[in-house]
Structure 1
Amino acid sequence: MRRAVVFDLDGTLIDSAPDIHAAANTVLERRDIAPFTLAEARGFVGHGAAVFVERCLSARGLSEDAALQAQVLEEFLELYEGAVHQTRPYPGVAACLDALVAEGLDLAVCTNKPEGATAAVLAHLGLDRYFDVVVGGDTFAVRKPDPAPLREIIACLGAVGAAYVGDSEVDAETAARAEVPFALYTEGYRQTPVEELPHDARFEAFDDLPAIVRRLLAAG
């Protein structure tokens, strides 16, 4: 009986906000648009690159300029795929993934990060070896919080039991709509108080996740 754990990426497995922040500011500064703080950039992450750029420009009163948005998005994506050098896994991630693999679980990634950038950062950090399936925000015609990508991953793995692990409002909604148990990582990029997000379990340290996964999968 195959069982799976599917992870979000940014704000869950990795802290990529410093790289995203730097890439965005590089593009904005080319146009003399005021740069963002790291905290501001972190708050824009979660719905994919296009929404991230839209939020950046909207915060500077430039959301109505469709041509500018298209240009900024194109240049941001060019930088984004190589934006890996300031990104780090959260503490305990590798040991947690080792433990889950040792228990015979299939692992996958379901993120709104573009597929190319996702592959690049997983390879750079040496995390790609853990995952049987990786789905990015541009892999399908829809992205999270639409439940289709998560459901497709579970079907592809042939898993009869699965749990989803994420950090954000988008992840909580995705899991709820897919009817998959959800473990909330509380140290990521969410903006909403933990108590207001639907979740089946929460954790602040990856050392605790294997036991949580066992419980969620046992509950079925």
Structure 2
Amino acid sequence: MKPVIFDLDGTLIDSVPDIQAALNGVFTAEGLAAFDLPTVTSFVGNGLPTLVTRAMAARGVEESQHERLTADVLAAYTADSSSRTVIYPGVVAALQALRAAGHPLGLCTNKPESAARVILDQLGLTGLFGAVLGGGRLPVLKPDPAPLHHVIAELGGGPAIYVGDSEVDAETAVAAGVPFLLYTEGYRKTPVEALPQQAAFSHYDALAGLVAGQ
């Protein structure tokens, strides 16, 4: 059975409220204005350092503060990363069905790996995945294909399927030469029809059938 690899934020979970809380906690302590939820959502997708860069640019913060603020946001987020986060409807049942059918499952996210593993543990998802890779383990992030190729290799190699919600995920799949299934209820900014994909779905009830068709 083909491995199926998933993105995390915006694909399996809606995590922006916790990201917003961590970011705003750090920025308001610096005397900076807080961000609303849509703005934080627009920052998500290319990893925490880029998210902080975008937030700093929006508030006119000097680049010299980036390393410190990124560390502070990561610490705040790791300390409270799931109290406001929810798993999208149907995700757990879909993952269990794919595993029962024999598909190895993996996770490939730009979220710092330490934070991703904490969230998976707290939400009870860790045991569903045979491989987990987050930001910081490799020197590159998605849309570079290396992280996705790494997860596929950890799952035993061979043809695989990638499931994600965003432009970054679509670019990653194309770069890796892997079929892409697009979850439409996440954080993308581009119309569904404008993204390269084998199929799109709005509820996880549809996923097993789409995977079987690849």
Q: TM-score, normalised by structure 1?
A: 0.95
Q: What secondary structure sits across from 2:190 in the alignment?
A: coil
Equivalent-residue separation in structure 2 for 1:74 and 1:152 (angstroms) = 26
| Deviation string, structure 1 residues 121-174 (Cα, Å, up to 9, x no partner) | 000000001000000011111110000111111122123221000000100000
Shift in Å, 1:196: 1.1
1:180-215 per-residue CA deviation (whole Å, 9 max, x = no partner) reads 000000000011111111111100000000100111
Number of aligned residue pairs: give it: 213
* SS across alignment from 1:160: coil
| SS in structure 2 at match of 1:47 | coil
Letter in 1 for 2:17: P
Of residues 63, 67, 85, the one that matches 2:64 is: 67
SS at match of 2:110: coil
| CA RMSD in angstroms, aligned pairs only | 0.9
User: Is 1:56 aligned with 2:29?
Assistant: no
Specify the alignment match of 2:112 in structure 1: 114
Counting aligned pairs with the same residue, the percent is 50
SS of structure 1 residue aligned to 2:107:
strand
Matched to 2:33, the amino acid is A
- SS state of the match for residue 18, structure 2? helix
TM-score normalised to structure 2 length: 0.97
Equivalent-residue separation in structure 2 for 1:143 and 1:71 (angstroms)? 20
Which AA in structure 2 matches 1:195?
E
Equivalent residues in 2 for 1:121-140, closer than 5 Å: 121-140=119-138
Separation in structure 2 between the aligned mates of residue 92 and residue 49 of structure 1, nearest angstrom: 27
Match of 2:132, SS state, is: strand
4+ runs deviating over 3 angstroms: none
Cα shift at 1:93: 0.4
2:143 corresponds, among 145, 149, 171, to 145
Instruction: State which drifts further: 149-158 or 42-51.
Output: 149-158
1:1-220 superposed matches below 5 A = 2-62=1-61, 65-82=62-79, 83-216=81-214
Q: Which moved more, 1:188-197 or 1:127-136?
A: 188-197
User: What SS does structure 1 have at the residue aligned with 2:160?
Assistant: strand
Write the deviation string for residues 19-47 of structure 1: whole angstroms up to 9, x where unpaired: 00000000000011111001110110010
Displacement of 1:13? 0.2
Unaligned runs of 5+ in 1: none
SS at 1:112's partner residue? strand
Unaligned 5+ residue runs, structure 2? none
